[in-house]
Amino acid sequence: MAISFSKPTGAASRFIGRDLGTVTILSVLGTGMSASVYLGFQRTLRRQVAVKILSKTETMHSRYAEQFRSEAEIVSNLAHPNIVPVHEIGESDDCFFHVMQVVKGESLLSLIAQRRNHPLPAHRLLPIERTIEICCGILDGLAYAHEEGIIHRDIKPANILIETRSGRPLIADFGIARTLRSVQTDGDTILGTPLYMAPECVAGSETDHRSDLYSVGVMLFEMLVGELPLADKETMLLLQRKMTHPETVFTRTPSEVLHTIDKALESIVIRALQPHASARYESAGIFREDLLAYGRMWAARSGAEKGIAV
């Protein structure tokens, strides 16, 4: 396999051409608040990999360094078809890094955006069966992680990768994951993405696996109707509302936004989005089973309407 380096651009490019552990860094794939992701070539197994790098020069004394180590150690122990696997963890003089599988595909965020901007109105939403399939894959991965005592805490479309060939969703970036047994606390720091965060995460209250289920509920709502009917779109106002009046975050139900959403499907979304964790689904597995049952019912009904044997 021939190795070629991308043209260096920006601060993140300083790692291009370097060897980290068994990997040579080839190009920048993306940058975030605390880390950047690169395409690399793992010399030992002669394969392309993704490499997440946290620069010590920028965050050596911050909370992100410990967070990055924790993320890598947690995810390296997870093995599930719907979770992006980690192959190697390492540290050099100026950075922390871990090596992951390259997922050939796109993020759910990108997929939703492409649909939303489609020139034909009839194609601006994912088909219901595809939405259910994606959400069930995510919930399958979360059920496994939760059984291992791990909460993701930042489930959102940008952290869901859709593999092109299989269409399989994979959960990425356990960057703020915590084990359920962890004694760490975050003080007044809010971890996660406000739109998809459960109210208890915003309020700094005790969280558990049901916080991830709320986030899946928000994504399901968004995938079904295209745009979320929010009372507040500005970040600080949204955070404040989730802390003080979490039951008023959404101004309309799914069926009020899109009349083709029936009450059976709407009830699944509403249960996942309950402001109090005790009223939500008890587990990712139960959430998934309800979605699968609805999917079977919808497929049978659709098949009958179209004269298709199911």
Out of 19, 94, 140, 154, pick the active-site residue: 154
Q: How many Å from the N-terminal Cα to the C-terminal Cα in the chain?
A: 46
In 3D, which of 77, 82, 84, 24 has the Cα closest to residue 53? 24
Are 153 and 207 a contacting pair, CB within 8 Å?
yes
- Whether residue 140 lies in the annotated active site: no
Quote the CA–CA distance of 143 and 145 in Å, as a whole number.
6
| Amino acid at the residue 126 | L
Quote the CA–CA distance of 162 and 168 in Å, as a whole number.
6
Q: Which residues of 51-66 are buried (b: 16+ CB within 10 A; e: fewer)?
A: bbbbbbeebeeeebbe
Quote the CA–CA distance of 304 and 310 in Å, as a whole number.
8
Quote the CA–CA distance of 98 and 71 in Å, as a whole number.
9
Residue with tokens 């009839």: 122
Rounded (10°) CA dihedral 15, 16, 17, 23: 70
- Which residues are known catalytic residues? 154
